[in-house]
Amino acid sequence: GGGGASQDGSTKVRIALASFSVGHGLSLIARDGGFFERRGLSVEIINAQGAQNAVAAVASGDVQAFVGTPANAFAAASQARFVMPLRAYAGPSVTLTLRVDVAARLGLPANASPEQRLKALDGLTIASISPAISPTLMLRHTSEQAGARINFTYLDQTTYAAALQAKSIDGFIGSSPYAEIAESQGSGLSWLSGPAGDFPGYGSSYMQIGLGITTGYADANPDVTSRMVRSYLDAAEYVRDHPDEAKAVLRKSFPELDGRVWDQVWTSQKAAFTAPVPTAEDLAFTYREYTESGSAKGGDIDLDRMLAPQLVDAARSL
Amino acid sequence: MATPETTIGSTRRTEGLIRLAGVSKAFGDRLVMAGLDLTIGEGEFVCVVGPSGGGKSTLLNMISGLDEATTGVVSFRGRAVSGLNNEVGYITQRDLLLPWRTAANNIRLPLELRGWSRTAMAERVREILAMTGLDHAADSYPYELSGGMRKRVSIGRVLAYSPSVLLMDEPFASLDAQLRLQMHEELLRMWQDSRVTSVVFVTHDLVEAITLADRVVVIAGQPGRVDLELPIEIDRPRRVVDVQSHPRYADYFQRLWSALGHDQPTGGAQ
Amino acid sequence: MATPETTIGSTRRTEGLIRLAGVSKAFGDRLVMAGLDLTIGEGEFVCVVGPSGGGKSTLLNMISGLDEATTGVVSFRGRAVSGLNNEVGYITQRDLLLPWRTAANNIRLPLELRGWSRTAMAERVREILAMTGLDHAADSYPYELSGGMRKRVSIGRVLAYSPSVLLMDEPFASLDAQLRLQMHEELLRMWQDSRVTSVVFVTHDLVEAITLADRVVVIAGQPGRVDLELPIEIDRPRRVVDVQSHPRYADYFQRLWSALGHDQPTGGAQ
Amino acid sequence: MTSTSEMPAEAAEARLSSPQESRRRAGGDGRGALATALIRLAILAGILVVWQVVGDLTTFGRWVSDPLSVAARVGDWARSGLLWEGTRVTLSTTLLGFALGTVVGGLAGVLLGVTRRLGALLEPFILALYSIPKIALAPLFLLWFGIGQLPKIMLAAMLVGFLIFFNVYQGTKTIDGQLIAIVRLMGAGRVAVIRKVALPYLSAWLFAGLKMGLPYALIGAVVGEFMASTAGLGYMVKNASSMFDTDGVFAGLIVLMTISTVLFLLLTAAEKRVLHWAGRGI
Amino acid sequence: MTSTSEMPAEAAEARLSSPQESRRRAGGDGRGALATALIRLAILAGILVVWQVVGDLTTFGRWVSDPLSVAARVGDWARSGLLWEGTRVTLSTTLLGFALGTVVGGLAGVLLGVTRRLGALLEPFILALYSIPKIALAPLFLLWFGIGQLPKIMLAAMLVGFLIFFNVYQGTKTIDGQLIAIVRLMGAGRVAVIRKVALPYLSAWLFAGLKMGLPYALIGAVVGEFMASTAGLGYMVKNASSMFDTDGVFAGLIVLMTISTVLFLLLTAAEKRVLHWAGRGI
Ligand SMILES: Nc1ncnc2c1ncn2[C@@H]1O[C@H](COP(=O)(O)OP(=O)(O)OP(=O)(O)O)[C@@H](O)[C@H]1O
Ligand SMILES: Nc1ncnc2c1ncn2[C@@H]1O[C@H](COP(=O)(O)OP(=O)(O)OP(=O)(O)O)[C@@H](O)[C@H]1O
Ligand SMILES: [Mg+2]
Ligand SMILES: [Mg+2]
């Protein structure tokens, strides 16, 4: 089924976010900037706390779409059919943050290359959320190529800062705004920035965040689907054309964040919101990474169907 | 009914209401009763005496179905007792009151279980409270009652629903002499009115046993068995306070006293 | 000591060991005792009789400190009782055994609390088990004991540590006649050996009261108070079985009987 | 001065000390309650002062916020209406889950306790289910119950239900078998035994279960809101936590604690009325 | 045939039915145990078959895996050694947390039960702490106890400790006050009352607490591993879950349930030995 109709005649849609972070900012801008409304959608954003929950919520039929990475969709393909119609964000959103004293001890010059920085990580204990997620794979991959072995440890994101202070870890790889907050608290230092392209080989073609919809829903509700996609495109244009206003809109979702931290966050992340729609090659690259990670079950994934360029085309034509 | 009639020492008994044949009882490997035979007739009032730990309560437990004979048969109205025997009312040695119910509501319990009407229950509870001298304690919880009062509630609770067969395990041991006489008279009255047809009454008080019983059964020995069955041939209706002046009283007392293994006579038998 | 000497009806009393002066006791707004005065001397054996619910157990509770007088003073050795009175041994009406301990270990409990040596404890427990006729039940748990056996454990447990003052609440009510005589003799022996100096003994059995006591106190009335104090002037040492043939026995019995409000004489007093 | 015997609550306090000692300490009904309230307030004040000092003056402070900041945040929430909305959502989830868990767990406990053979058979299976970390089942909860209030209610009910079940079930094992037998002898069928004996007797165990279960109802509701939600105190705490907003986290926790304390005091008051007979010996 | 009175376990089963009925059903010691085991196996087999069918034949199946795939995964883990390593880590955390929580919670319950006034004062505070969703405190755990085994042990101990505390504390309220008084009169000081009366009496309540606490020890260990770790069954489940690997999730859960069932059966055996006197009336 589709979303019901709300009182004012607009279609009700629920979208689940895998986490509530700046990386998912475009959904929040689309909501708070009124871009969904403008397309006749009444959208409720759900913080699902984890891609598994987000996918399960979609499978339950209570939620019409989720926002996550292609890896989520690949993995979830064994449990529900998904299409990933658009890129809402591109490039690695994550940043490797090191403890200030550890960074000082490594003694690299400020202008050291990413390869040197990666090599210096040898023997350090770095926290990540889980061994199977893309940032971990990327960091492991690139650091091994640079000749460093990292001891990974897996923590909940909310404990990163505490773990830094307790000196239980030497650093963490995390999404915005965790890195910026650690930096602002003086406990962490940004060491390798994903958005700045510090991870060799992982450019803008990697780790898009996209909108995930089941094929069943997309086929049954082409119109609603197009309008959803269109709203995201609208929001992306808004960020491109009115960055300051967009910044203010997104700020509403992070009211407790310190102003200076917020400026940093916005600076590092905003470009991602306006990234172009992925190509088939981009998706293939991501898929290859995913299957090579060893965690993947692969199987019956139809990459063309998953990219669904026709959905984006249909949205553009609205 | 298939039970053969027995006549041993009974004036009113018409048939074997309760029969124990070759009953033995072991708890684990401790044999506490062996080869016990006993028949209690319809309408008979039997008192059971015997040393502490001799198996008197166990006997009542077996008749009521609370406990099961290890060997032998316990039958009731000609049928082997199996499971709880709902036809008997059992006043246990320990007063098993429900601590969350007042005295009046403890007495009310069996009436509730029988689906009596509210007014009938209230009426009956009032009667019983008066009979047991507990009018002023109707609304007290068990923890607010004295030992004797608790015992009276536990007696009244069973008398309230007038079961046709009564098993009573030292019911009056903790009552004062006056109350005791009163209860004796009440009990005999109920029995003579045939509201209660048969009674099996355990006591340590030989005077009480002789006063009340048609027949006194002595259970003694290790393991316990029936040592003596003594018919009490004192006319009914008896006036409780007169029994001790009856010419045969001293003889009865003496015979029970020695059956219990006591060597010297004592005052009660003078 | 400030307590004035009293001489009322005592042969051995030297001073007021326990004194209750103007004691009343209310539970909530129910007054169960009022204006009660009673003195019990060092070395005295006092029996307390009275109707069920009359306040006898409450009296012992107040002497032991388990309960507190609402008004008036309860003093022990000249000092007001406040908190538990460790100098008395109290055999309560309800047998408060520890269900997780065997008979032997229940008896052992007070000895453990007193830090006796293992061997001394084992020796004493054996003695007490023999005295109470429980040798064969030493390793039984309370739930495996008969009512009278439980009671005996609870008596033995207190006798085991020979407290100098004994409070006993209907201790022998559920024992058979033989055991009862045995326990009477044992108790009197302990008392005459001065292992137990004073005893306050609650009973419903007037024969027992006259047999044991220096003085019998009748507590009666609503609210309860001391109605009669009857010194028993029968020579010591008494042979328990002889007391009922003593010339004064019938008179004592009769006076107690009527003090308790009974209208007719009964066999025990013939 | 009235006696302790008419004051179950005070009497209960006296249980392990001598009756007289405790009566003296308790000081009388009204005064005792007032004194207790005052001492509790003093303890609370002490905790708050220490917290404020730690929060202000130590490096550890930033991890635990401090009472003034927390109070300010709660004030903000109250003004913006977030507080009431969050409380409404979480409280209703908690109470519904608590009620559901209590009924199902309690009934199961009594029934399996009564048909003990069945209980013995099923006990290991129930325990196995009980020992699953419920968060691992979050996707299944979402799948079955969607993302509304239902999955949170079910989670709360599950947490509560197991606790109530085990308490009540264990309680049935301590019922005096002779008491039951004697009531059956008086004519009680199985249902009557449950109604007239088991349930009243088990109230002491049930209250233990309720007291233990109540906070878990709240925890269930909150953890459920952690999983996927758009409202509720759990949602607020989680959001604050993902923003490293310690003031917000602790403000949420304080509100949660307040709710559970209020519910708990209600429960305790009910217990005092119902259980006055307990601990007096059967 | 021996009597029920010598078979506490069977006698307990008979509690609410007539002694004779249950004796007949129980059928005798050895045969009864065998029958119970067989019926349990049958129930287990039934569950597995239903699960396999649901897993194979329904669309819902992919969310719950199926027994054969789970068995295969457990087999893989066993061969690779992952299973033993994970079990070792989680089990040791569980047992240490369980022991710590039992000791601390039990002692606190007894002590606050005994000094009841203190108990009454502190009860609301303890409850307030208890009602915090512990996951919200993850950063504090990490800060205090690092990222090793310690924070998981502490989390397990906290979960267990509160349950044990409330059970034991509630139990103290049901102790027969007269029994205590009489033992004090015999010369027992407060410590002796605790050792000789309170502790043995409370064993029924303690066992309820232990049974309820045991699975929470496991849950605490696992949730702790969810929060932060590189090893253990919780880590394996979490990891599988983040890869949408349902076989792995359910394999982990099955191993967890097996562990808790084994521990539970040990506990039940201990209970039967210790509590033979319970439910016979005091
Ligand atoms: N559940 C049981 N387990 C083991 N032994 C038991 C059990 N119940 C009773 N007994 C034993 O059986 C014997 C008889 O007990 P019973 O209660 O029938 O005695 P009784 O004649 O009623 O004694 P009393 O006059 O003291 O009440 C006693 O030795 C007792 O220890
Ligand atoms: N805790 C209590 N709360 C309220 N009333 C009580 C309490 N304890 C005793 N009473 C009342 O006090 C009165 C005296 O009780 P007590 O136990 O002293 O009687 P008793 O003389 O020992 O009686 P018995 O011979 O039956 O043992 C009774 O009416 C009883 O109901
Ligand atoms: Mg008996
Ligand atoms: Mg009394």
Residues of B with CB under 8 A from a CB of D: 64-66, 84-86, 88-90, 92, 94, 96-101, 109-110, 112-114, 141-144, 157-158, 161
pLDDT exceeds cutoff 80 at A294: no
User: Based on the number of CB atoms within 10 Å of its own CB, is B72 exposed (0-12), middle (13-18) or buried (19 or more)?
Assistant: middle
Q: What is the pLDDT of residue B252?
A: 92
Q: Which two tokens stand for residue A207?
A: 């780790």
- Atom of ligand 2 at shortest distance to CA of C54? 21
* Residue at E88 is within a domain: yes
Q: What is the mean pLDDT of residues B50-75?
A: 92
Task: Please give the biggest Cα pair distance in chain A.
Answer: 62
Instruction: Say which range, A1-10, C125-134, C171-180, has the weakest mean pLDDT.
Output: A1-10
**How far does the centroid of ligand 2 lie from the alpha carbon of residue B197, in Å?**
34
State residue B26 phi and psi, 5-degree precision: -125, 140
Predicted confidence (pLDDT) at residue B184 exceeds the cutoff of 60: yes
pLDDT at E255 over 70: yes
Extended strands (E) in chain C: 16-27, 30-41, 45-49, 71-76, 79-80, 88-91, 165-169, 198-202, 215-220, 225-231
Same domain, D28 and D156: no
Q: Are A211 and A54 in contact (CB under 8 A)?
A: no
If you average pLDDT over residues C219-232, what whole number do you get?
90
Confidence at residue A267, expressed as pLDDT on a 0 to 100 scale: 84
So what's the pLDDT on residue C3? 41
Residue A9 has pLDDT above 50, yes or no: yes
When pLDDT is cut at 50, 70 and 90, the band that residue C6 belongs to is: very low
**Domain membership flag for residue E237:** yes
Q: Which of E94, E150, E45 is nearest to E262 (CA)?
A: E94
CB of C149 closer than 8 Å to CB of C137 = yes
**A103: nearest Cα among A161, A166, A196, A189:** A189
CA gap D61, A251 in Å, rounded: 27
pLDDT value of residue E113 = 86
pLDDT at B24 over 90: yes
Specify whether the CB–CB gap between D171 and E212 falls below 8 A.
no
Cα separation, C139 vs B30, whole angstroms = 12
Closest CA to A274 of A253, A248, A246: A246
H helices within D15-137, ranges in order? Answer: 19-26, 29-57, 67-80, 82-114, 116-130
* Whether the Cβ atoms of residue B28 and residue B9 lie closer than 8 Å to each other: no
Residue E112 clears pLDDT 50, i.e. is over it: yes
Please name the residues in contact with D119: beta carbons below 8 A apart, sequence gap of 6 or more: D112, D113, D169, D172
Of A74-83, A151-160, B178-187, C63-72, the range with the lowest mean pLDDT is: A74-83
Q: State which amino acid sits at residue A194.
A: G
Q: Determine the average pLDDT of the residues in E56-79.
A: 85
Q: Please report the pLDDT score of residue A137 as a whole number.
A: 82
D2 lies in a domain? no
**3-class SS string, E199-220:** HHHHHHHHHHHHHHHHHHHHHH
Least confident range from A243-257, A282-296, C103-117, E180-194: namely A282-296
Question: In this structure, how many other beta carbons lie within 10 angstroms of the beta carbon of residue D99?
Answer: 15
Q: Are A22 and A177 in contact (CB under 8 A)?
A: yes
Judge: D140–A56 Cβ closer than 8 Å, yes or no. yes
CA–centroid distance, C179 to ligand 3, in Å, is 14
Q: Which residues contact A157 (CB under 8 A, 6 or more apart)?
A: A19, A129, A174, A175, A178, D242
Instruction: Note whether D224 and E135 are within 8 A (CB).
Output: no
A162-172 mean pLDDT? 88
Could you tell me if D129 and D172 lie in one domain? yes
E120 and E45 in a common domain? no
Instruction: Sheet containing A95-99: give its strands across.
Output: A188-193, A95-99, A171-174, A125-128, A151-155, E228-229
d(Cα D110, Cα D106) in Å, to the nearest integer?
6
- Indicate the average pLDDT of chain B: 86
Angle between helices E246-274 and E82-114 (to 10 degrees): 40
Q: In this structure, are E138 and E106 located in the same domain? A: yes
Nearest in space to D238 (alpha carbons), one of D248, C151, C258: D248
Confidence at residue C107, expressed as pLDDT on a 0 to 100 scale? 95
Based on the fold, state whether residues D192 and D160 are members of the same structural domain. yes
| Between A291 and A35, residue with greater pLDDT | A35
Kind and range of the H or E element at E109?
A: helix E82-114
Cβ contacts (< 8 Å) between D65 and chain A: which residues?
none
> Is residue D52 domain-shared with residue D130, that is, in the same domain?
no
Do D181 and D47 belong to one domain? no
**Contact residues for D142 (Cβ-Cβ < 8 A; gap 6+):** A48, A53, A56, A57, A60, A62, D151, D227, D228
Give D-chain residues touching E260 at CB under 8 angstroms. Answer: 127-128, 130-131
Q: Are residues D79 and D40 in the same domain?
A: no
Position C236 confidence tier, pLDDT thresholds 50, 70, 90: confident
Q: How confident is the model at residue E279 (pLDDT cuts 50, 70, 90)?
A: low
Nearest CA to ligand 1 atom 2: C144
pTM (2 d.p.): 0.83
pLDDT single digits (tens) D249-276 = 899 999 999 999 899 889 888 888 887 7
Closest by CA to B211, choosing from B226, B225, B220, B201, is: B201
Statement to judge: residues E28 and E122 lie in one domain: no
Region C23-33 average pLDDT? 90
Sign of the dihedral defined by the CA atoms of residues C139, C142, C147, C150, in that order: positive
Q: A296: pLDDT confidence band, cut at 50, 70 and 90?
A: low
Q: What is the pLDDT of residues A220-269, one digit of tens each?
A: 998 999 999 899 889 988 998 999 999 999 988 887 778 888 888 888 88
Tell me if residue C25 falls in helix, strand or coil. Answer: strand
Residue D25 burial class via C-beta count within 10 angstroms: exposed 0-12, middle 13-18, buried 19 and up: middle
**Cα(C7)–Cα(E245) distance, integer angstroms:** 94
E1 in any annotated domain: no
Q: In one letter, which amino acid is E215? A: P
- What's the pLDDT at D31? 65
Is the confidence at residue D12, as pLDDT, over 80? no
Interface test with B, best of E2, E4, E7, E20 (most B CBs within 10 A): E20
**Beta bridge partners of residue B38, listed in sequence order:** B20
Q: CA B51, CA B69: separation in Å to the nearest integer?
A: 20
Residue-level pLDDT at E31: 65
pLDDT for residue C15? 57
Beta bridge partners of residue A212, listed in sequence order: A66
What are D60-84's pLDDT values in tens digits? 777 788 889 899 999 999 999 989 9
Q: What's the alpha-carbon Rg for chain B, to the nearest Å?
A: 18
Model confidence at C156, in pLDDT bands (50, 70, 90)? Answer: very high
- Work out the pLDDT band at E217, boundaries 50, 70, 90: very high
Residue E237 and residue E119 share a domain: yes
pLDDT at E156: 94
Q: Is the pLDDT of residue D25 over 60?
A: no
User: Do E46 and E175 sit in the same domain of this protein?
Assistant: no
- pLDDT confidence of C59, banded at 50, 70, 90? very high
Interface contact flag, C26 D3, Cβ < 8 Å: yes
Query: How far apart are the C-alpha atoms of D233 and C255, rounded to whole Å?
Result: 79
Checking if the pLDDT of E101 tops 90, the result is yes
Of A33-37, A139-143, D20-24, which gets the smallest average pLDDT?
D20-24
Q: Which chains touch E (3 or more CB pairs under 8 A)?
A: A, B, C, D
DSSP 3-state of B119: helix
Chain D, 44 to 83: residues with Cβ < 8 Å from chain A are 59, 62-63
Q: Is the pLDDT of residue E130 over 80?
A: yes
The answer to whether the beta carbons of residues D264 and D214 sit under 8 Å apart is: yes
Range of the domain at D15: 9-56
A56 touches chain E (CB under 8 A): yes
Contact E6 B27 (CB under 8 A): yes
pLDDT-derived band at E281, boundaries 50, 70, 90: low
Question: CA torsion angle for C135, C141, C147, C151 (degrees, to 10)?
Answer: 60
Check pLDDT > 60 for residue C255: yes
- Residues D135 and D154 reside in one and the same domain: yes
Query: Which residues of C sit within 8 Å Cβ distance of E?
Result: 64-66, 84-86, 88-90, 92, 94, 96-101, 109-110, 112-114, 141-144, 157-158, 161
C60-90 pLDDT tens trace = 999 999 999 999 999 998 888 888 888 899 9
* % of chain A residues with pLDDT over 70: 92
Does the pLDDT of residue A295 top 60, yes or no?
A: no
What percent of chain E shows pLDDT beyond 70?
Answer: 87
pLDDT at C9 over 70: no
Asked if B121 and B111 touch (Cβ cutoff 8 Å), the reply is: yes
Cross-chain Cβ contact C179/B51 below 8 Å:
yes
- pLDDT of E15 strictly over 70: no
Task: Name the domain count of chain D.
Answer: 2
> Among C41, C16, C32, which Cα is nearest to C69's?
C32
Question: Closest residue of E to A60, CA-based?
Answer: E60
Give the end of a domain, one of D17, D39, D56. Answer: D56
**Nearest Cα to Cα of residue B104 among B133, B145, B135:** B135
**E82, E236 contact by CB (below 8 A):** yes
- In the numeric block, the tokens 């990219």 are attached to A307
Distance from CA of E274 to the nearest CA of C (A): 9
Query: Is any ligand 1 atom within 6 A of the Cβ of residue B27?
Result: yes
Separation of CA B33 and ligand 1 centre (Å):
10
Looking up residue D187, the CATH number of its domain turns out to be 1.10.3720.10
The widest CA-to-CA distance across chain E, in whole angstroms, is: 71
- The 8-class DSSP code of residue C234 comes to -
